[in-house]
Amino acid sequence: MGEALEKSGVTTLPGPFAVGRYARKLQEWMRERSRVQLIGEVTGVGRSKVQAYFELRDGEGAIPCAIWLNDLEKAGLSEGALRDGAEVVISGGPDYYPGGGQASPNFCFRATHVRLAGEGDLIARLEALRKQLRAEGLFELQKQLHRPALPKAIGVVTAESGAARRDLLAGLQRRGWGGTVVWGFAPVQDRHAAPAIGRALQDLAARPEVEAIVVTRGGGSLADLWAFCDETLCRTVALLRVPVISAVGHERDKTLIDDVAAVACSTPTHAAEAAVPLDCLAAKEGLERSATALRRAGEGAIGSRSRHLGALARGPERALQRQRSSLNQKIREIRAAAERGLAERATSQRRIGTVVLERARRRAAGADMEKRRVALHRATVTLRAHEPERTLERGYALVEGEGGEPLTSAEATAAAEQVKLRFADGRIRARTEGDVEREREA
């Protein structure tokens, strides 16, 4: 065993020293440390007869502190200012009480001065926290979450009696949204605020129907809004799987929760729009327009194609009709052409026949024919010279019986009694009287 201790080097360390002496040396050493200022939130304030004690803490750690009551009085804080939740700046250094025969030893930061933290202190602390959380990538996590356009239920963390609650509801109703709001009421301004807000957020995020969470409160000083810069709260928000919309303070107030949230809004009304991105009233109108467009497209497609089909269906019939008309026209033309051709051919053949007959006749008649024609002509002239008309033209008259028969003797004329005298220019009736008078023979 001794050998093992030697090997570990324990037995070679200096000492052993008397503990009381060592404790006093430790006290001396601590009191020689630099005097500094610390900033943090006061918790667990208590008092003894001679000093006040408390813990100063932030998200990363805590230190037990103590201040002599006379030093506290000199600091000039108002009554009750050193209270739980107060952000303070203390000045001092580490101290160690070695204890004694009856008293327990303890360590504390011995404050010799204390003041409430000012805006500048808070801003400096906020910037340090912001830098740290950004470096850890916690600002991006929420922003990568999907935010539904039309959530059915949203969670809201706010003060039960705040104006922010009323403004948020008005904003939701203006969008025509009538879903479910699950309220997670929490204090929004004291040292209990940040843990309570954190719990409400986690409880809301655990509900499956909640699709987005709004965290909101009205404006105030940075100290009033300090709960929303709480490191633990902001880390909780960053890791939630439900998108968080923050609307804390007014536009100029920029808290740490705004950095880690999915969306940061300047007012509760804007937060309502971010929580329900869809304007339900406008969406309904848009949907009606879409339905109309679809109906028209469907009817139009069928209508135009029906007309087209109808036109196509009539096409063959029209084409047949066109062909039929064309055919009829051709038939008429052919018939007309045929008739014209037959007539011409008949005329032509007739002409040819006449010529042929004439030629045949001439061939048949031969040379005598011409002589006969001359003799005939001559006879005709002679005949015409002997016609009674030629004689009548010279002043003679012809006596005709009642029946038009020529009466060529006095006997016949006397016997007829009624006769007609025919001159070249006409006939007259005549009556005979007496007997025949004989020509004396010479």
Q: Where are the beta strands (DSSP E) in 5-105?
A: 36-47, 51-57, 62-68, 87-97
The CB-of-183 to other proteins minimum distance in angstroms stands at 5
Say if CB 233 and CB 198 are below 8 A apart.
yes
Consecutive H or E run containing 411: helix 410-416
The CB-of-208 to other proteins minimum distance in angstroms stands at 12
The CB-of-287 to other proteins minimum distance in angstroms stands at 5
Between 180 and 408, CB nearer to other proteins: 180
The CB-of-198 to other proteins minimum distance in angstroms stands at 13
Under 8 Å CB-to-CB from 30, ≥6 apart: which residues? 93, 94, 95, 96, 107
Between 178 and 434, CB nearer to other proteins: 178
Between 36 and 309, CB nearer to other proteins: 309
Between 291 and 343, CB nearer to other proteins: 291
Rounded to whole angstroms, the Cα distance separating 179 from 172 reads 9
Say if CB 54 and CB 82 are below 8 A apart.
yes
Rounded to whole angstroms, the Cα distance separating 154 from 204 reads 9
Between 57 and 174, CB nearer to other proteins: 174
* Cα–Cα nearest to 164, from 100, 215, 93: 215
Between 169 and 410, CB nearer to other proteins: 169
The CB-of-57 to other proteins minimum distance in angstroms stands at 28
The CB-of-296 to other proteins minimum distance in angstroms stands at 9
Residues contributing to the site for other proteins (CB under 8 A):
148-150, 152, 155, 169, 172-173, 176-185, 200, 203-204, 207, 278, 280, 283-284, 286-287, 290-291, 293-295, 297-298, 301-302, 305
Q: Where are the beta strands (DSSP E) in 159-225?
A: 180-185, 210-217
Q: Exposed (0-12), middle (13-18) or buried (19+): which is 304, by Cβ within 10 Å?
A: exposed
State how far Cα 28 lies from the chain centre: 79
